[in-house]
Each structure stands twice: as structure tokens, then as C-alpha cells.
Chain A
Amino acid sequence: MSTADDLTIRATSDSLLKASAPPRKRNMAQYIRWVLLFGGGLLMVMPLAYMISTSMKWPWEVYNIGLIPEEPTLENYTYVLEDGRFFGWFINSLVIATITTLSALFFDSLVGYTLCKFKFRGRYIIFIAILSTLMIPTEMLVIPWYMMSQSLGWLDSYWGIMFPGLMTAFGVFLMKQFFETVPDDFLEAARIDGLNEFQIWWQVAMPMVRPALAALAIFIFLGNWTAFLWPLIVTTSPDLYTLPVGLSSFGDEADVAWELIMTGAAISTIPTLVFFLIFQRFIIRGVVMAGLKG
């Protein structure tokens, strides 16, 4: 049942996408527009070009203004990648970001759904309370988290790094908005069919907001991939460092090796870029759906 409906919805939104795309109009204005936009896009990525250029420079060339290094080198990349620890950090970040993303997807949508589709006393208060957790900077929470981890033996472990990020208020907010677009009739029909509430959420409602889940996945993954302060504080073993923490060891009290930092940054961007390119179609589709019904 759900698959057929899902396909219908997907087909409808696809055709709507095509239909709502503006018709082709070739004229001067169109050309100018394209050139300006493309130029703007190139300007947008200019800093990245310099980042990559710096990653291919020897240390004494780092501040040279040219975009093309006088003596380009892949030495920085080999240095960073051959550092035996680099691969471990990469895997740590990947595992942790993936697990927290899956957990957040599950719990955030469960909570968002509940706050949206169930009417009960205290619903709004809980929503505001959860939203208010967005207003405390992580920097202040790090110390109590450390004390907590220490007494529970969570220090220096994957769990210790992950636990603060397993559910997010941002995700709850986002999913709640998207669940508003799921018609109650579908849910009622499922109830009549004898599904319990959990099954209704999992089998009926969730597939209908799959695009929103894709969008959320990107943002949560990105957030966890780049997290620095907490993973730094909770780990002592170098094998457990996440990528940002590991890369920061290329700088110390006296010096920061910027060419290595740029190299590390360039390498770290690749997974998020891949993630984005795969999922970007879903985002537009999903937000379109929300826009249509909302």
C-alpha cells in the first residue's frame, strides 16, 4: 500500500517539478543571466581554489599570492595520507558520523511525528523545551558532559564521542514541519487497517517524508563530520581521534602548518561532497512537496 502511494507521490512531484520549471526562453537576457550566475558561482568557489592551491605548495610558498604554485607538489598529500593515523581518523569520523546520523534520523523523526500528529497536553511545552536546547552553546555543555562521561566510564570511546549528538533539536523542528504535510487520512486508514501506532509511523508516515530525511541526513552528517571541541576533550588515545581532531595535531604551540591544514581540509571535503551530490535531488523534491501542501 505504502509503496504504491509513495510512487504516485513521487511521480506527481516529479511532474510538478518539470511543470513548474520555467519554459525555455532564449534571448539576450537569458545569456547575460547565465554568464552572471556562472561567474558568481566561480567567485563562490574561489576561496576553495586557493585552499587546494595552498595544499600543493611547499611551506615557504604558502603566502605567495599566485594561484598556481611555483613548485607544485603532492608532498603534502602523501605526508598526510601516509601518516599511519590518518586512515584511522577517517574511519573514526565516518563511523561516528554515520551512526549519529542514523540515530538522529530515527529519533528526531519519531519525536517530530509525535509532536505533530498526536494531540495531548504539554505538547507545545515539550516542543519549546526541545527547541530551547538550540540556544545553549556547546562550549558550556562540554564540562558537565565530561564529568558525566568520566563517572560512567564513557571516556575515550566511540560512545563517549557520539552520545551528545544522537538526537538533535534542529532535526525535531525540521521533521515536525514536514510531517505536517502528511495527510491525516492516510494515518486514519492505517489505523482502521489495524496497524499499531509504531507501524503507522514507520510504514506509512516515514516513506512520505523520505526527501526530508535525506536533507536532514546531510546536515547531521556534516555537523558530526566537522565536530571538534567535544571529540577533542573526550578522547585521549590518538587512535580514537576524529578527523578534525587529528588534523589539528599538524599545528602546535609555535607553529601551524597551513599547507597541511589545507590538505586535510581538501581531503575531508570529499565525503561530504559525495553525500551531497547523491542526495541533492531528494532535497529539492522534498522541500517542493512541503511547499505544495503547506
Chain B
Amino acid sequence: MNRPFRTALAALATSAAALTSASAQEVTIEYWQYFFEARVDAMEILIENFEAANPNINVEMTHFPYADYRTRTAVAVPAGEGPDIVQLFYGWLNDYIEAGLIQPLPTDTFSPAMVEAEFFPMVRAMERDGAYYALPTAVRSLALFYNQRLLDAAGVEVPTTLEELVAAAAATTERDGAGNITQVGLTTGMTAQDHHWFREVLIRQFGGEPYLDDYQTVNYDTDAGRAALGFYLGLEEAGVSQSGFMDEPQAAFRGNRAAFHIDGSFRIGALNDSRGLEWGVTELPAGADGTQSNYSSYWVNAITSSAEGPEYEASVLFMEYLTSPEAMQIWLDVVGELPARQSVGMTEENANDDVFGPFIRGLAYAQTTKFADESAQRQVLVDMIERVQLQDMDPGESLRMAAEAEQAILDGYYNN
């Protein structure tokens, strides 16, 4: 693999050993993440590698079910039951910093300059006051999935622009005798990933910018916002989509009843398991003027404020390893999540991979929304669509109400 890097790691290990050789004791650090088989497997490999390179450090991993993961950690960490290194969703960073639960990563090892140069741009959201508080091993982004068989049957090419997407979706939508959709062209559903697609992609592609002031001010009650909403609603009006078709968008796609489906890279594992599904993936369609945008989210690792002395030193070393190119490649191979470093992502092999390529290429122009309360902000957009579709409200009016509601959430959060 990467020999120079291995040597560097070994050197680091020996110097770390020199540091701690004075006390010559074994240090044990604790790591928490939520349970997902592939992630646990990958982490076990990483821990094994790390412990081999650092014989005096012992890493204990604890994991628990995803359900109520946030409650679980939120209740445990302030009660002092927490780990030395904790995994958290990037959107929770503000809360964790404010409550003093995590400490900034040392700027000599994790200098902002280094991070900015080597990691994909959206990781910059993890910086506060000149230091990084957390870093991801892997990131996710969105892409356009398509059903090869349905496309072939309709004789349609893979679209690259929004216009092409609508046309292709129209060609692949099928209805029964009574006019009910039995096969949908493009899946839509604000309760899934569409609210990210709307916020960070569509609004920008129609000439707007969804937020200002570092995501503290809502800015989509604009012409661009209305145009984006018009496009989104237009999908259903044109008959190429139907929100709520087959309950969940991904269920429709997996059930071979949808030609196109916008989703995150985390869906890859499930699709691989679907026998009889021939699928492909391509970058999100570009706007009319060629604008490309994407949304990226990620889980990060951070050092908790309860890590001190030898545990702190050991945690820094572990963090370094977790964010190393080696670790990222292992994570990509085992979990199927995209590497956070550009060097790893943009290798010939990775950037042109049939499956990961589109997602990785999308990282280059991806944005990360700084949420104050993701589920509440998602609900705002869900309600916005429902007001129009279920209560016949004027879209512009509904958009205005949504912007107001979301601004209230942001104000409530930032003005505290």
C-alpha cells in the first residue's frame, strides 16, 4: 500500500511510545459509535491496525442500536458515562461544543491549513475559531440512481440535465387502465432525501442561495426559491412523479417500479442486496445553465472533554489514524462510504468507479447544511409541500410560510 505513509505512522508510533515510555503504562481509550454491521467490522479492522502500531494503547469500542442513538449519547455523555472519542452527526456539533462536551483537536496535528488543503471542502463546517472540533473518516453525498432495465425498455438515455431528467421520467412512467401510476418515472418525497436536494441543489440551480450568514438566515423566499419549488411541484403535475407512491421512494426503486431515484451513498448496500434489480448511478443532473451542486453529510469523530493526560494523547493518535488515507480506503472498501480526503477520493480507481465515482465526483462541489434542528427543518419543507398538495395553497404562499417557520427555528437556536 502506501509505504511512505506506513513508515511515517511507524515513526509516529515510536515517538508516541517514547512519549509514554516514561510511564510505560498501557492506556485504554473508549470509542462509541452506533451499530451497523459494516461500520463495526470496519472499525474493528482499524482498531486492530492501530493497536498493532501502538502496542501500549488499547481501544475499547462500544456500540448500540441506531434507534434513539442521539438520546443515548446525549443522556450518557453529560452524566459522565461517555467515551474518550465519540462519534456524532455533523449537525450536532454546535450543541456538543456549547455544552463543553468535546475539545478542539490540536492545531499542530490537525492544522486548519492542512484540513482545508487535503479534505473535501464541505468538511470546513467543522471549524470553529481557528480549530477543528471533529473530523470525518467518511462522507456521503447524493446521486441519481436509475433502473437500467426500465430505461432500456423505454429506450431512454441516462440524463445529465434537469430537462433531460424530466423527459426521461415522462418516458418511463406507466399507468393502469384507471389512470393510477403503476410505475413512476422519478421518485419524490420530502420526507426522504429530497429536502436536501431542494435546499442545496435545486435552489442553487435556479440561481439562488438557500441560506446566508453561515446558515443563520433563511434566503429561499426569493424568485429562485419559487422557481425551484415550481420545478419540484411540476414533477408531480406533469405526471412523472407521485409523492407517497409505494410509501417510501426507496421502496419503489427497490421494487423495480421506479426508473429514477435520488438518494445518498448509504443506499448502495441495500441496493446491492436487491436481487433482480439492475441499477446504475450517475451524478445529479445539472441545471439549465450547467450549475452543479450536491449535498454532503457525514458522521464525525471528536475527542470528548473528559479525555485527559495519557488518554488524551492516545486519543489524538487514534484520531490521526482514523482520518488517515489508509483508514479511509479501508472504510470505503468495507462500508461503502466515501473518503473524506481528496487524495483518496480522487484516485483513478475510486473517482471512476462505476458505483462510487458519481458520488465522489459530486463531493467536489457539495455543500453541507448547518442545521440547528434537522428534523424540525425537514418537517418545515414536508409541510410546505403538503400545504400545496393537500390544501391547495398557493405555492408562493406556502414557501413564504415555510421560510418564516424555518427562520423561527434558526432564531430560537442562535439567539440563545
The 28 sampled A-B contact pairs (Cβ below 8 Å) are A59-B273, A60-B254, A60-B256, A60-B275, A62-B251, A63-B251, A143-B75, A146-B76, A146-B79, A150-B80, A229-B68, A232-B64, A233-B72, A235-B64, A236-B76, A237-B62, A245-B65, A246-B65, A248-B65, A252-B36, A252-B66, A253-B34, A253-B36, A253-B66, A253-B266, A254-B264, A254-B269, A255-B267
Most B-side CB within 10 Å, residue of A146, A241, A254: A254
What 3 A-B pairs have minimum CB-CB distances, sorted nearest first?
Answer: A254-B266, A252-B66, A249-B65
Q: Kindly list chain B residues whose C-beta atoms are within 8 Å of the C-beta of A58.
A: 275
Contact of A147 with B by CB under 8 A? yes
Interface size on A, residues (CB 8 A): 29
Q: Kindly list chain A residues whose C-beta atoms are within 8 Å of the C-beta of B276.
A: 60
Interface bits A133-172 vs B (CB < 8 Å: 1, else 0): 0000000001100110010000100000000000000000
Return B146 CB to nearest CB of chain A, in Å.
17
Q: Kindly list chain B residues whose C-beta atoms are within 8 Å of the C-beta of A237.
A: 62
Q: Kindly list chain B residues whose C-beta atoms are within 8 Å of the C-beta of A63.
A: 246-247, 251, 255
A59 touches B254 (CB 8 A): yes
B79 touches A254 (CB 8 A): no
Q: Kindly list chain B residues whose C-beta atoms are within 8 Å of the C-beta of A142.
A: 75
B254 touches A146 (CB 8 A): no
Bound Cα distance A64, B256 (Å): 11
Bound Cα distance A253, B374 (Å): 14
Return B242 CB to nearest CB of chain A, in Å.
15
Contact of B365 with A by CB under 8 A? no
Residues of B269-322 contacting chain A, CB below 8 A? 269-270, 273-277
Residues of B8-48 contacting chain A, CB below 8 A? 34-36
Interface bits A248-268 vs B (CB < 8 Å: 1, else 0): 110111110000000000000
- Interchain CB contact (< 8 A) of A232 among B72, B250, B267: B72
Residues of B in contact with A, size category: 20 to 34
Contact of B391 with A by CB under 8 A? no
Q: Kindly list chain B residues whose C-beta atoms are within 8 Å of the C-beta of A241.
A: 65
Bound Cα distance A225, B23 (Å): 49
Return A11 CB to nearest CB of chain B, in Å.
51
Q: Kindly list chain A residues whose C-beta atoms are within 8 Å of the C-beta of B80.
A: 150
Bound Cα distance A237, B303 (Å): 22
Contact of B81 with A by CB under 8 A? yes
Bound Cα distance A64, B254 (Å): 11
Return A136 CB to nearest CB of chain B, in Å.
18
A236 touches B64 (CB 8 A): yes
Most B-side CB within 10 Å, residue of A59, A237, A255: A255
Return B19 CB to nearest CB of chain A, in Å.
31
Q: Kindly list chain A residues whose C-beta atoms are within 8 Å of the C-beta of B66.
A: 248-249, 251-253
Residues of A118-145 contacting chain B, CB below 8 A? 142-143
A155 touches B81 (CB 8 A): yes
Contact of B67 with A by CB under 8 A? yes
Bound Cα distance A144, B59 (Å): 31
A255 touches B270 (CB 8 A): yes
A60 touches B68 (CB 8 A): no
Contact of B415 with A by CB under 8 A? no
Q: Which residue of B lies closest to A232 (CB)?
A: B68
